[in-house]
Amino acid sequence: DSGVTQTPKHLITATGQRVTLRCSPRSGDLSVYWYQQSLDQGLQFLIQYYNGEERAKGNILERFSAQQFPDLHSELNLSSLELGDSALYFCASSVDGEKLFFGSGTQLSVL
C-alpha cells in the first residue's frame, strides 16, 4: 500500500458529462501529481500541485482542471467527456519531488 488513496476506483459515464476524481496524498507529502494512462499513449503527466499551488503542467486538455485543497487532497475535474478520455487516471504524491508514490488509480469509462 503506497499510502495514496484514490476514489472512486471505477467510474462509468456518458459522453458530454463531467466527473471528479479525488486523491488523498501520503501523510506529509505536499506535492500531488496527476497522470493519465492509456494503452496507446502510456503514462502521461497531466499536472502537478505543490501545497495548493499549481507547479507544472503537462499534456492536460483545457476540458480538464485540477486543484489542491488546504488539507492537501486534490481533485481532477474532467468535463465534456469524450470516448477518448477513457483511461486509467493516477494520482501520485511525493515529499521531495524525486520519488513518487502512486495510488491505485481510477478507471474511467466513457460510453
Partner 1 sequence: QKEVEQDPGPLSVPEGAIVSLNCTYSNSAFQYFMWYRQYSRKGPELLMYTYSSGNKEDGRFTAQVDKSSKYISLFIRDSQPSDSATYLCAKEYSGAGSYQLTFGKGTKLSVIP
What residues line the site for partner 1 (CB under 8 A)?
2, 4, 31, 33, 42-43, 45, 48, 50, 55-56, 58, 90, 92, 94, 97-105, 107
Least spacing, CB of residue 16 vs partner 1, in Å:
27
Nearer to partner 1, 46 or 78 (CB): 46
Least spacing, CB of residue 47 vs partner 1, in Å:
10
Least spacing, CB of residue 40 vs partner 1, in Å:
9
Nearer to partner 1, 14 or 42 (CB): 42
Q: SS3 sequence, the chain?
A: CCCCEEECCEEEECCCCCEEEEEECCCCCCEEEEEEEECCCEEEEEEEEECCEEEEECCCCCCEEEEECCCCCEEEEECCCCHHHCEEEEEEEECCCCCCEECCCEEEEEC
Nearer to partner 1, 4 or 66 (CB): 4
Contact 86, 73 (CB under 8 A): no
Least spacing, CB of residue 86 vs partner 1, in Å:
15
Nearer to partner 1, 75 or 97 (CB): 97
Distance, CA of 71 to CA of 81 (rounded, Å): 28
